[in-house]
Amino acid sequence: MRNTIAKTEIQKLLNHSDVALSPSEIETQLHGLCNRVTVYRVLERLEKEGFVHKFTNVDGVLKYAVCQDCDTNHIHHHNHAHFNCTKCGDVTCLETVEPKFEVPVNYEVAEINFTLSGICPKCAK
């Protein structure tokens, strides 16, 4: 599948962001380059290609962040925590924080959405 200007710019935006971004935030930062539908389509494609992962933050907003440790077969490995700052609203991946839990027999976990909330280091100053 070919690369489009929208895909290239969305990848660039996500690559240079220290925080996870919502489709709405991406659309705003692209200053009219593409509409919301195109943003969602590109994000869906980037997720399938293993470039980004998505999760829902504590406010129920879908956020996207660049994958750090997905394999070359585009299998996502995102059993890490996310941190939602209650002051500035930024959401960051905590790649080194892996939640530990046990589920009852016969339950099979397919996805984890583990979000911590509080004050980030930037706002704690």
According to the annotation, is 93 in a ligand binding site? no
pLDDT-derived band at 119, boundaries 50, 70, 90: very high
SS3 content of the chain, % helix, strand, coil (to 5): 30, 20, 50
pTM of this prediction?
A: 0.75
- Better-scored residue on pLDDT, 7 or 3: 7
CB 78 within 8 A of CB 65: no
Asked if the 5-124 domain carries CATH number 1.10.10.10, the reply is: yes
pLDDT digits (tens, 9 = 90+) for 36-89: 999 999 999 998 888 888 888 888 889 998 876 655 554 555 677 888 899 998
**Number of Cβ within a 10 Å radius of residue 118:** 11
Encode burial over 35-63: b for 16+ CB neighbours within 10 A, e otherwise: eeebbeebbeebbeebbbbbbebeeebeb
Domain residue extents for the chain: 5-124
According to the annotation, is 85 in a ligand binding site? yes
As a whole number of angstroms, the distance between CA 49 and CA 70 comes to: 10
Residue whose tokens read 């099979």: 108
According to the annotation, is 120 in a ligand binding site? yes
Cα four-point dihedral sign 34, 37, 38, 44 = positive
